[in-house]
Structure 1
Amino acid sequence: MAFSKALYFAAIVPSSEVKEKVKKIKLEIKEQFEAAHPLKLPAHITLLPPVPLAEEQEKAFLGTLKELSGKQPAFPVKLRGFGHFKQRTLFINVEDHGPFQRLHENLLQKATNFLPPKLSENLHPHVTLATRDLDYKKFPKVWQAFKNRDFSAEFKAEALTLFKHNGKTWDILENFAFSGRE
């Protein structure tokens, strides 16, 4: 008997105001550089990359995330400037990685039963603006346009968002409010 699997990933989704600022930049990149892939998702900072889970594991996984979030205090997030990974991905920098790294480590520990054994412990919090369909030949022009450009935004991370792939796109499955004390 084969088990049906779905893909899930966990992220921090910024406030509506910050999501709109990021969306405008993604639309600008689509128009100027023909890279639209990141428009498929709202702005987010990935904490747990896509992992396959048997559908039968979903309820237990949701319970684990709810328990973790109930102990997690909200924390401030500052976004400043732009960065990149090689000539493939353009992103907005997250200033303080500490809270994200701690939350990521907690996720890896609490959800260990659900995660593949070789899931990376490395985390570089960022908000992706262009990737996958960003032609590496166009990357120097994209980077030239953004490397010295000013950008700043702040929001409070108040929930963990779990996305589930429906076969074509990512849907928000559930938001888990942070209710721990600061």
Structure 2
Amino acid sequence: MHSYYIALIPPNYILEHVNQVIQYFADKYNSRGALRSPPHITLQPPFKWDEANITKLEQHLTNFASRRTPVPVTLNQYGAFAPRVIYIDVVNTPELTTLQLDLMTYMESIGIYDPNTKTRPFVPHMTVAYRDLTKQNFKVAWQEFEHRQVNFEFGADNICLLLHDGKRWNVLSKFQFS
């Protein structure tokens, strides 16, 4: 059994910017956790799946994506899950919420279920400083980033399946919307 999750990954020009911010947190605040995954917006939290059946999972995701249309995504300002996580906030639009809810429902129909999603609201975000950020460094970093401006918009036209290789998360497959 391997670990996977499903996410939206922004276009390269946004990836480059966000990766620079993540590297800044690694260098200045010793928060390296966000380096273990490409910048992303999680739609389906990590789950286990038998590697022998990966083709079946990919077929399911192809089927799901083929019935979707692109979703507008806006990255706006910085946010935090105090006292350890700093992220770029993603505007929670009805289209994005619907995509996430539909995916969760679809995944549940094929046996993938995360009980936390029933009790926690969907808070779309792109993590730049992970839980390895100390509380002391969080306070200093949050003062630096709390009012910093960031604004990007893109049309999400696919979802990505990421696989954990034992050290980091990597994009395994992309599933194009119609």
Does the pair score TM above 0.5? Answer: yes
TM-score by length of 2: 0.92
Structure 2: runs of 5+ lacking an equivalent: none
Matching residue of 1:127: 126
Matching residue of 2:90: 94
- Report deviation, 1:24: 1.2
Deviation string, structure 1 residues 92-119 (Cα, Å, up to 9, x no partner): 0112332222111111221212313625
Structure 2 residue identity aligned to 1:120 = T
1-structure distance, mates of 2:11, 2:147: 25
1-structure distance, mates of 2:49, 2:116: 13
Deviation string, structure 1 residues 55-82 (Cα, Å, up to 9, x no partner): 2432222111111100110122111100
TM-score by length of 1: 0.90
- Contact 2:104/2:113 (8 A) holds in 1: no
Matches within 5 A, 1:158-169: 158-169=157-168
Matching residue of 2:32: 36
Aligned length: 175
Matches within 5 A, 1:138-157: 138-157=137-156
Structure 1 residue identity aligned to 2:6 = A
2-structure distance, mates of 1:72, 1:117: 22
**When you count helix as a share of all residues, which structure comes out higher?**
2
Cα RMSD after superposing both structures:
1.4
**Runs of 4 or more consecutive aligned structure 1 residues displaced over 3 Å after TM superposition:** none
Percent identity, aligned pairs only, is 28
- Report deviation, 1:34: 1.1
Matching residue of 1:116: 113
63, 69, 80: which is aligned to 1:67? 63
2-structure distance, mates of 1:101, 1:47: 9
- Contact 2:38/2:169 (8 A) holds in 1: no
Deviation string, structure 1 residues 112-156 (Cα, Å, up to 9, x no partner): 123136251431100000112111121110110000111111111
